[in-house]
Chains A and B, each alone.
Chain A
Amino acid sequence: MNHVSDPKKLKVVGTRPIRPDGADKVTGRASFGADMSLPGMLTGAIKRSPHAHARILSIDTSKAEALPGVKAVVTAKDFPEIASEEAFVGEGPMNFRDLSRNCMARDKVLYEGHAVAAVAATSTAIAAQAAALIEVEYEVLPHVIDVEEAMADGAPLLHDDVFTAGVSPKPEKPSNVAKRVEFILGDVDAAMKTAEVIVEGRYTTKPVHQAYIEPHACVASVSGDGQAQVWCSSQGQFMVRAYCAKLLGMELSDIRVMPAEIGGGFGGKTLVYLEPLALALSRKSGRPVRMVMSREDVFRATGPTSGGVVEIKLGATRDGRIVAAECLLKFQAGAFPGSPVQPAAMTAFACYDLENVKVVGFDVVSNRPKVAAYRAPGAPISAFGVESAVDDLARALNMDPIALREKNAAKDGTKAAYGPTLKDIGFVETLEAAKNHPNMQVKLGPNQGRGVACGFWFNIGGESSGAVHVNEDGTVVVVSGNPDIGGSRASMAMMAAEVLGIPVERVRPIVGDTASIGYSFLTGGSRVTFATGMAVSQAAEKVVEQLKARAAALWDISAEAVEWCDGTAYPAGPNAGEFEPLPLAEIASKSGRTGGPITAEVSVNAQGAGPGYATHVCDVEVDRETGHVTILRYTAVQDVGRAIHPTYVEGQIQGGVTQGVGWALNEEYIYNAKGLLENPGFLDYRVPVASDLPMIDAVMIEVPNPRHPFGAKGVGEVPIVPPMAAVANAIRDAIGVRMHDLPMSPPKIRAALDAGELPMAAE
């Protein structure tokens, strides 16, 4: 049901109430993964590989087991071997065989930091000591990290059972190239021949980490009868349950996962690392086990995103129509297959209405940690290349960068290269708003420049459950199953309050554990406000139907003759005016008499998520002598569908922009010749600090998605897609140098200036 006949009549949705978990978070009371404590709790520690690539010859845990205070030690033999046939369960893309081997190495270690054993002991110090006493014999193997080196003939091979998928005929020899994908529209080769202007570019990016401030943490407790409880911060308690059950050979109903507050995820907490180990240790020791990662382990052994190579070729006619677009992507997957090269390929040209497109991508394993999702996985990387090339094309055509994009913009009815025909999209509106923003009028000084870049993300729907319970005093509890990363709890309460017609202060949202609410797919893909919001709204609608029926019962009239408005039942039709209106609280207080508790739970598999678009404008100043880049101004315009809670939507935009700026300027994984990570800490892995940025102007455009009760579209991921190109295009404008390789750190900018590097030539 669409609840927005007139947006101005909305009473709660679109306002900015204080978030319900806010007081606990500003007073330090909120409980995150490492804040949980149980009586008798042990501390777990992990023994990790010091090598980038090696065969495990033997593991001797005897000295560790003998250390007083050590209560359990586990290695791969404590986990069931998962055969390749069982690797996939249900519809998810997770390969459980690979996940199991990532959590605990079997036969081989594939990256520095790969876990080979774990211990649980009575103190942190003893656990660390015990881990150090575990003796592992390795046969060190040659390693490879760079994506093109990993693809080359003769590269060290990570897996002898990975054969390139997506190529024909099926290869006979194993390879580090796990998959080839392609998306084709029309005939790019023929169309390119008709182009009057051609622009090409080759771009590279380095691996970057989601860099959430909270390291992974969990407490696991297994009882004598095999029933387990897990407290953890994750992006999905049902995901944790499913993955742990699979990795440990347990039944789903024997694991109950309680979602702690989560200190950032951005995709990096959509899978498990510690939880299966903590469960195994708890099972073996008979005591609860807490495991918390150090910051070094987070950098070394969780899921930084791909580094990659992006090659773009654009062909256009002089009037600015892009007639042909080609993109080649080579992405690192890390130790096991599964880079986001496919979404990167699908999103590469999704901002544009093109007839001839060819995108080819390669998923390549190499000896660095397995890639996990990072906010719009893959899209920022391909967008860096595409939007830089579009900028070069604008220069070659002597066209304004926004005008060029307007000329080729995706609109309702555009067929995207990745398949669907787009509808109810707001891309053109973002271009318009950016063009007309006052920041565009600010005059730039010497060594200052302005860059424009655009971005797209599909956003997903999927399975979610929501329950609405009416309390006897007329207050309401909303239960949903998605961890709250960005304020979704508040949005759930707001949507329920809007449907019920009551003030949002009378609605308390909670995030339920796996035993307390129906299944929900994880928090990611910018799906929670859309899909879980849909489930909650529908549950609230069902409650409204019950409230009307109860009022009818109290009035002894037919339920069809009751209207619900502003939280109150009114007699309607032939009975209009005959009875005093019944507010929700009164109906609730009499619910026992009229049939019992008033409650509803709805599960959906939400379809019709609306994709998001953004246009960003970035102003920079470059110090030519040092190569230092200062962000002077940043304007991020995004189509958000409908902003349920505008403050949190702005927050998502500002946060995504900031991560993109860090990715653009300074963040990167630095490996030495031995394949060991040189910067596993916040000192030399340089995320933006408060003094690095100006205020970020987040402009929300609302082109509602009719398939959501309030018109919402996902918002969290789109904002990270344009910034790298926006910054690169601004640098190009400021100093005349096209930077192709991320990060655009000062030494590289200075070197490019000294080399007199010119932008890639246009024909």
Chain B
Amino acid sequence: MAKTHVTTTINGEPTEFLCEPHQTLLDVLRDELGLTGSKEGCSSGDCGACTVTVDDRIVCSCLMLAAEAEGHSIGTIEGMAQGEKLHPLQQHFLQEGALQCGFCTPGLLVAAKSLLDNHPNPTETEARYWLAGNLCRCTGYDKVIKAVMGAAAELRGETPSQARA
């Protein structure tokens, strides 16, 4: 089976890889590129644990062939923090206790960042519907939504940064 050569950008870094036609973007991220932050929960686009951005839109990476990434810009959880500096969403998740087992957390964070990038002032209901594609079995979503709303307020400049000195 001939492999396809793909040139793309991942978290701002120019990246090339070889992939077989049937491999999904998730397969390649995890198995070829060592980016295991995106998780496989269902392989059918129903759980959101594999959420990444493609040209700044969130998608399920399990629903995209790796070959489709050619020429596009991919964003994963690994690109969310700037070195040691966590994104306010990551900081608020930690502060609020918005994670328990942490498996759904990367997908949720990528999806939540997309929410706030596009809608800086969401209502609780808007946040819940935006994130409906990210299943969490541990938290009951309560602290997740609180963290998202808290980070939104901080990003709007309404509250001081939660970052530890």
Contact = CB atoms under 8 A, between A and B. Distances in A.
Direct contact of A and B (CB under 8 A): yes
Interface of A: 16, 18-19, 21-23, 25-32, 34-35, 125, 210-215, 261-266, 292, 294-295, 485-487, 647-648, 650-652, 654-655, 657-659, 681-683, 687-691, 693, 695-696, 698
A213 B125 contact: no
Interface in B1-47: 20, 22, 30, 35-44, 46-47
Nearest to B42: A295
Contacts of B146: 695
Task: Tell me the interface secondary structure of chain B in the complex.
Answer: loop
Contacts of A215: 40-41
B128 A690 contact: yes
A690 B134 contact: yes
B109 A651 contact: no
Contacts of B58: none
Contacts of B99: 22, 25-26
B118 interface: no
Nearest to B148: A690
Contact of B44 (A25, A647, A683): A683
A213 B132 contact: no
Contact of B109 (A26, A487, A652): A26
Contact of B47 (A21, A32, A213): A213
16 contacts: A22-B94, A26-B109, A27-B81, A29-B37, A32-B39, A32-B103, A34-B30, A34-B36, A261-B101, A262-B101, A485-B100, A647-B97, A655-B137, A658-B141, A682-B41, A696-B142
B101 A647 contact: no
A19 B94 contact: yes
A18 B139 contact: no
B100 A28 contact: no
Interface residues on B, range: 35 or more
B94 to A, nearest CB: 4
B129 A27 contact: no
Contacts of B78: 27-28
B105 A25 contact: yes
Contacts of B109: 26
Task: Tell me the interface secondary structure of chain A in the complex.
Answer: loop
Contacts of B77: 27-28
A18 B94 contact: yes
Contact of B137 (A26, A27, A264): A264
Contact of B86 (A23, A683, A687, A695): A23
B145 A683 contact: no
A295 B41 contact: yes
B100 A213 contact: no
B117 to A, nearest CB: 17
B43 A294 contact: yes
A650 B134 CA distance: 21
Given A485-B101, A647-B97, A682-B47, A28 B36 contact: yes
A125 B99 CA distance: 34
A735 B42 CA distance: 37
B81 to A, nearest CB: 5
A682 B124 CA distance: 24
Contacts of B143: 647, 650-651, 654
A26 B90 contact: yes
A505 B144 CA distance: 24
Given A650-B143, A690-B131, 19 more contacts: A18-B95, A19-B94, A26-B90, A212-B103, A213-B49, A215-B40, A263-B39, A263-B101, A264-B100, A264-B137, A292-B40, A486-B138, A651-B97, A652-B100, A654-B142, A658-B139, A682-B135, A691-B125, A691-B128
B104 interface: yes
Contacts of A32: 39, 103
B135 A487 contact: no
Given A18-B94, A28-B77, A696-B142, A34 B101 contact: no
A594 B38 CA distance: 49
Given A28-B38, A213-B104, A690-B144, A647 B96 contact: yes
Contacts of A31: 36
A214 B141 contact: no
B106 interface: yes
Contact of B46 (A292, A654, A683, A695): A683
A294 B44 CA distance: 10
A31 B99 CA distance: 15
Nearest to B99: A25
Given A32-B39, A682-B46, A214 B103 contact: yes
Instruction: Specify which of A27, A264, A695 lies most central, judged by the most chain B CB atoms within 10 Å of its CB.
Output: A27
B63 to A, nearest CB: 13
B110 to A, nearest CB: 9
Nearest to A211: B137
B140 A263 contact: no
Given A213-B135, A295-B44, A683-B44, A658 B140 contact: yes
B119 to A, nearest CB: 15
B22 A16 contact: no
B67 interface: no
A28 B97 CA distance: 16
Given A263-B102, A295-B41, A651-B100, A690 B141 contact: yes
Contacts of B66: none
A26 B77 CA distance: 8
A261 B102 contact: yes
List the 5 shortest-distance A-B pairs measured between CB atoms, nearest first.
Answer: A28-B37, A263-B103, A25-B102, A658-B140, A647-B97
B152 interface: no
Nearest to B45: A683
A617 to B, nearest CB: 16
A31 B35 CA distance: 11
A296 to B, nearest CB: 9
Contacts of B96: 647
B64 interface: no
Instruction: Specify which of B125, B129, B140 lies most central, judged by the most chain A CB atoms within 10 Å of its CB.
Output: B140
A291 B61 CA distance: 21
Contacts of B127: 690
B76 interface: yes
B65 interface: no
Nearest to A487: B100
A67 B143 CA distance: 50
A373 to B, nearest CB: 15
